[in-house]
Structure 1
């Protein structure tokens, strides 16, 4: 059992919880597509996981346990908000989705590692373009001025860089599957 103090087991728990946030988000969305309260349900799931952290056995499948807790949070939300104007699945379909979603949601940590690795292989000017596009508040027009290129040429380059990254990540995933790694 994990302790409630700020000892290493709690640090380990926080690490596991952080590592699985994207997967939990995707799992909740799969059950409540279009629902604007997915973020709130994820927060409730995180709070419940934290509250019940002593029930988690280190070395067991944290992801499966977290998905189970998320499933109960989704059900509680649906019960509380029966008359929402978003899409609500019938119980049988929701059960099917909750059983199949964990296998359909790939481990995001491998994809993130592959993205970092693939990004590092890019030419420096392409990394700069990506950084500007996804981390700067300025648009492509300001970057185009800065580097003396047209916005349309930067858009084309950005499209090609994304395609290169996608191919690199897919190749990396395929290599992990060939080795028998779980994705």
Structure 2
């Protein structure tokens, strides 16, 4: 695999890693097993990346590979133990894909909502959530009381939540 292919693979894989891990944890019920399978799946995805069709979402392809690996794992378990059926494994993968798509949509809505708020509020959110500063540090930097910073954050979060939910409802209803 060439260096650009490696970068493309890593970009795609890192974007779906959390979805894969959530699916694997749901399918296996065990964090250690999910981690082991994630390692195996990442190797399989890497080895088969030249077969990936970039016209299709990487998440769908990766979840398809994960389904196969979960089924292989299930078959390798000792007989007599309770394991999920192939149908349940497929249902979990479908649910993981659906929830990931919903989160993608909500992130798009959040970006739009962030653009619609004032610059000072956006800066306050950036200090708190991107730079991870404590409220007292933000208050000191901005020359405001901690109570004022907390109240602004509460209002900003509430406004963003309402905005994202409104956009999601309009999108679900076919509105603009």
**Shared topology, TM-score over 0.5?**
yes
Q: Distance in 2 between matches of 1:139 and 1:33?
A: 36
Q: Distance in 2 between matches of 1:161 and 1:41?
A: 40
Change (3 A) 1:150 1:80: farther
Matched, 1:91 2:99: no
Unaligned residue ranges in structure 1 (runs of 5+): 83-88
Residues 166-177 of structure 1 correspond to what in structure 2 (within 5 A)? 166-177=161-172
Asked if 1 retains the 8 angstrom alpha-carbon contact of 2:19 and 2:96, the reply is no
**What is the CA-CA distance between 1:72 and the residue it aligns to?**
4.3
**What is the CA-CA distance between 1:19 and the residue it aligns to?**
4.3
Q: Distance in 2 between matches of 1:10 and 1:33?
A: 31
Q: Distance in 1 between matches of 2:146 and 2:24?
A: 37
Matched, 1:134 2:129: yes
Equivalenced residue count is: 170
Residues 1-183 of structure 1 correspond to what in structure 2 (within 5 A)? 4-6=1-3, 16-31=12-27, 35=31, 41-74=37-70, 90-92=83-85, 95=89, 96-179=91-174
Greater relative contact order (Cα 8 A, min sep 6): structure 1 or 2?
1
Moved more, 18-27 or 138-147: 18-27
3-state SS of 1:144 partner: helix
CA offset digits 1:52-105 (Å, max 9, x no partner): 1122234245322211223345566778999xxxxxx84149524334332343
Q: Distance in 2 between matches of 1:20 and 1:62?
A: 8
RMSD: 3.6
CA offset digits 1:29-70 (Å, max 9, x no partner): 444567267566545433321211122234245322211223
* TM-score, normalised by the number of residues in structure 1: 0.67
3-state SS of 1:106 partner: helix
Q: Distance in 1 between matches of 2:92 and 2:142?
A: 48
